[in-house]
Amino acid sequence: MSTATPTSSPIVNGIRTALGIGGVLALLAGILIVWQPAAAAVFVTTVIAIYAIAGGIVYAALGIFSKAMSGSSRAFHIVLGLLFVIAGVVAFANLQGTAATLAVFVAVLIGIMWIVEGVVALTTLGGSGSRVWTILFAVISIIAGIYLLVNALLGALVLWLLLGIMLIVLGVVQIVRAFTFGRA
């Protein structure tokens, strides 16, 4: 018969450890983003470039060595693999430029999504019980989306810094959860 209390069971300890590690990683990532936003963006771009190259090698290898795929499927896997490898190598050739390009791309994408979300909200006015809130949401969403389209790089920097701040807060909360999880 086990005499372990709920606060010291292996499962609770494992969850505490996972929460603590996740919290510390989020806190460190948030601090890095807030303290050195450009370096953090280059680091993220480096990880993406490594992933692209590794994924490209896997796709190409599947296309080359797989006997279960059709000829066209194998060719597409090889082409996709080569494109991934080329993208990764190009990213490594200019990490800062690639980081800026990715930031602008993400900001423009978010801007477009916010504009669409605002327009969609306006289309629901007929069935909305809260017309004022729906209109307010739509207007703010459309204005924020337009701002991101017009000032994509600055908007990306602001979003990046907000992400860093959120990661710091969430990291601290997660660390506190790690110490208090499973206690009555």
pLDDT at 4: 47
Largest CA distance in the chain: 67
The average pLDDT across 109-137 equals 90
Q: Which CB contacts under 8 angstroms, 24+ apart, belong to 122-129?
A: none
pLDDT in tens, 46-95: 999 999 999 999 999 999 998 888 889 999 999 999 999 999 999 999 99
The span from the CA of 179 to the CA of 19, in Å, is: 9
**Is residue 184 very low, low, confident or very high in pLDDT (cuts 50, 70, 90)?**
low
What are the residue ranges spanned by the domains of the chain? 6-180
pLDDT value of position 127 = 73
